[in-house]
Amino acid sequence: MSLSIAEKKELFEEFKKELQEAQNIKIETCRSGVELPQYGKPEDVGMNIRAAYSTAIHPGQTKIIPTGLKMETPSGYELQIRPGDDISITSPLRISSTPQIMETSYPGEIGIVVHNASTNETTSHYYPVYSTKEQGNKPGIYRIEKGERIAQIVLVKIEKINLVPTKQRVYSRNN
C-alpha cells in the first residue's frame, strides 16, 4: 500500500510536531570522533548509542564501554540504557544491570556495562575472535568496533513515591 502525497505530507507534519514537543537534553562529547545518539526510525522509542572506541571482551569478562558522551538529565526524569537487538541476537554479549539508569545527579561519561556470557568451552588457551556482526552466537572473544551501536538510550519520566505506613494488611494482586 503506497501513501498519497497528501498522506505523506500529513505524516511528515505529525513527525515535525513530535520533534518540536521532544524534551531538550544537553549533551557533550568528551572524546573525539563520537556520534551523537539518534533514532533509527521516527517511531523508535530508544536512540542508538555507540562505542567511543574499539575493544575486545573475553569469555566471562565484563567491561564498561565508553560512549564519549555526557548528558544532562532533567529533574523528574531518568535516562535508561537498554540493550539493542544487534548485539543481543548475534552474540553472547549482554548489557548488564538492565536497564542501566543515569540519574539527574550523574555528571560523568555514559558507559555501557557489557558482559560476555560465553562459556569457557575450549581446552586451549586461545579463543576465536568474532565480530558482533557475525551470526551464530558462538562462544569466544568478541570485538566491539568504534562507532558500533551497542545499546539504546530512553528518557523516562519518574513519579516520586510517598510511602504511607499502615497497621492494616496491605493487599496486592499477588495475595
Q: Where in the chain are the domains?
A: 25-157
Which ranges in 43-142 belong to alpha helices (H)?
Answer: 85-90
| pLDDT for the residue 120 | 67
Amino acid symbol at 139: P
Higher-confidence position of 73 and 15: 73
Grid coordinates given for 141: 572473544
CA distance 79 to 99: 9
Mean pLDDT to the nearest integer, 26-35: 94
Strand partners for 70: 28
The mean-pLDDT minimum among 19-23, 25-29, 34-38, 139-143 falls in 19-23
pTM for this structure?
A: 0.76
CA distance 28 to 108: 10
Per CATH, the homologous superfamily of domain 25-157 is Deoxyuridine triphosphatase (dUTPase) (2.70.40.10)
Residues in the chain: 175
Higher-confidence position of 125 and 112: 112
Helix (H) or strand (E) holding 6: helix 5-21
Amino acid symbol at 115: H
* Interval 53-97: pLDDT, tens: 999 999 999 999 999 999 998 888 899 999 887 787 888 899 888
